[in-house]
Amino acid sequence: MRLDESEDKMKKIAAFLTAFVLFVITVTVIHFSLRGHIGMDRPEFGTWYSHYKDIAGDVVAQEMGEDTLTVFGSSEFRHGRETAWHPANFFKDRDVPLMLIGGPYNQCLNHSLSLGAIEKNMQTRKAVLLISPTWFYKRGVSENHYSLRFSENNYMAFISNRKIRRSVRKYVAKRSEKLLGSDPAMQSNIKIYDKLFISGKDNLFTRLFFNIRRAYVSDKDKIALKVAMNFISKKEKSGVRFAGVRGCSGGIDWEEVINCARKSSRYDADNKYWIRNDVWKRDFKAGEKKAKDRHRKVTFKKSPEYGDLRCFLDVCRDCDIKPMIIVMPLNGRWYDYTGMNKKTRKYLYSRIKAVGKEYGAEVADLSKYEYDKYVMKAGRHSIPLRASSPTSEALRRTTIGLFVKKS
């Protein structure tokens, strides 16, 4: 009986080792076949919005050029792609190489990972962070949203980046382990990586697992990105052009841009909140009465997002990257109605700016546009209906000011 049990045990071990060897061989073959530049070879890659792009830090890094300016944001990169004011259209075919990173539910913690993963290839050593005030609710980024936007690829590059202080990496590790509670398999993986690079518990198994897993995840993300770029982008091609925007070498006539945007937006948002009409009818009109005073108890005094913002700026400091944070406004008319008064919003804006200034970051405060007509597409999406809206002004400032490459 014992002999049979011993034979069964040996068979299981042999089966496991065989499967493991085959897996290693497969990963190795795929890895070497993809070694080197994957070949996006598309000028629009930098401004292309895609989750596949955001999680593939290896490809993003290798696509960055000498003058590429990296801009981290959220849902503003997804919305407004059909307008002339989206950066993908506004700066198309101009000498302003941008790398946009982010989409809905991307917040400071995810951006810290992305920054730490790609910083070695950021030749300008400058980063722009577009901050959405609604990130700073009491709970900060939720487990579901963090898990949805999480990149194992970027996490592995971040956690192994020894330029970043161990205390900063430990903060990210602790936050990530907690926020990935709904994904036990991923949580288990990052705990192994944390033991290797945070706790210093290095052994043959953890090192081997990390190296093999990293090659596998990197190659998987590269393949997914290549497929997405070849097929999905064909459906999202935009022919939007704005003839009034001249090439940057000859300068941009900003007055002409603003006047044109005002004229084109006059009939797009004629409701009392100046929310774009199609968005108002689809997302707000039916629930307007229920939204009355919905946010009256919101204070913004406590939120883990403040710590996550500090984390992003700590990564900038450790990696010698000059940051610019752009404080996006909320729709003043709408949030007055929902009970989030001006005093509460002012406190939030001030606190975000204080954190930025503490780290020596360039701070662009766009909260003054809270009550401007045609600025807000919705209650909190500052997708440009005119050129002086937050996204356009933010990129305007970054491209003609501090963050343009200096001689």
pLDDT in tens, 304-341: 999 999 999 999 999 999 999 999 899 999 999 999 99
Extract the tokens encoding 26.
């497969």
pLDDT at 399: 40
- N residues, the chain: 407
CA atoms within 13 A on the CB side of 129: 32
Q: What is the pTM of this model?
A: 0.83
pLDDT at 407: 37
Token pair 């204080």: residue: 354
Q: Tell me which residues of the chain have a pLDDT lower than 70.
A: 1-43, 93-94, 232-252, 254, 258, 261-262, 266-267, 376-407
Instruction: Locate the domains of the chain by residue range.
Output: 34-400
Summarised one tens digit per residue, pLDDT across range 368-393 is 888 887 776 665 554 444 444 444 44
pLDDT at 387: 41
